[in-house]
Amino acid sequence: MPATVRKDTAMRVENKVALITGGARGMGASHARLLAEEGAAVAVADILDELGRETVDELLADGHRAHYVSLDVTDEAAWGRAIAEVEEALGAPTILVNNAGVGGTVGGVEVEDASTWNATVAINQTGTFLGMHTVAPVMRRAGGGSIINISSILGFVADGDGFAYCATKGAIRMMTRSAALKLAGDGIRVNAICPGIIRTPMNEMEPELDVYIDATPLKRLGEPKEVSYAVLFLASDEASFVTGADLLVDGGYVAQ
């Protein structure tokens, strides 16, 4: 049965438990903040332990339920430990945001080597796989959930310098669709968000930043919270009939 859509959109993820990878800073911290403000208990997962704990301390100080868990997303055993820790601290996660990622090597296919390729694939693609793989049984036992994978506009259109990054972000889109089909019967929705150029520490170091802004119809960087609102929608019961989808938050970049 379709979920009833609430007329009052306040506390849109109340009583849900969310796990956000790469949640210590940037978009991940923004997602954690908004989900907490909308009623979720949030687990911030990262390898940046000091920053992650600071992010959680800020949420706790504001009266939210939050917990920090140290997690290397490339480590399958670490995923199992992290999920168990979150269950003990907050309850079974019914929202997973696979946000952790790296930009990879700049320079294109001839500059890329096996070492840099493997490192980018391990974090962006394998990390996303391990998150879905580990959380699915937990969500199934909980009666369902929402998995949100962060892809990119560069999963739609190529950048000649970002060979491994484009490959992993394109792969995430197809992984999302495959998982969505397999897990639909368990009440687990799986969707991808594909941001454009967002104002984050990683993107502000991008040497071609002005080129991307000029190529964006809205002629500006996106703000992390603009992506977080897409995360909130897909995490909430308002998106109860949405699975296997790509949600572009890109200022019109891919529409051209």
Q: Yes or no: say if 92 and 141 are a contact pair by the CB < 8 Å rule.
A: yes
Asked if 39 contacts 235 with a C-beta cutoff of 8 angstroms, the reply is no
Answer yes or no: are the C-beta atoms of 205 and 141 closer than 8 Å: no
**Surface-to-core class of residue 70, CB atoms within 10 Å of its CB (0-12 exposed, 13-18 middle, 19+ buried):** middle
Task: Judge whether 165 counts as a catalytic residue.
Answer: yes
Catalytic residue among 165, 212, 229, 253: 165
CA 1 to centroid of chain Cα atoms: 27
Helix axes 163-183, 127-142, angle to 10 degrees: 20
Angle between helices 224-235 and 26-37 in degrees, nearest 10: 50
Which residues are known catalytic residues? 165
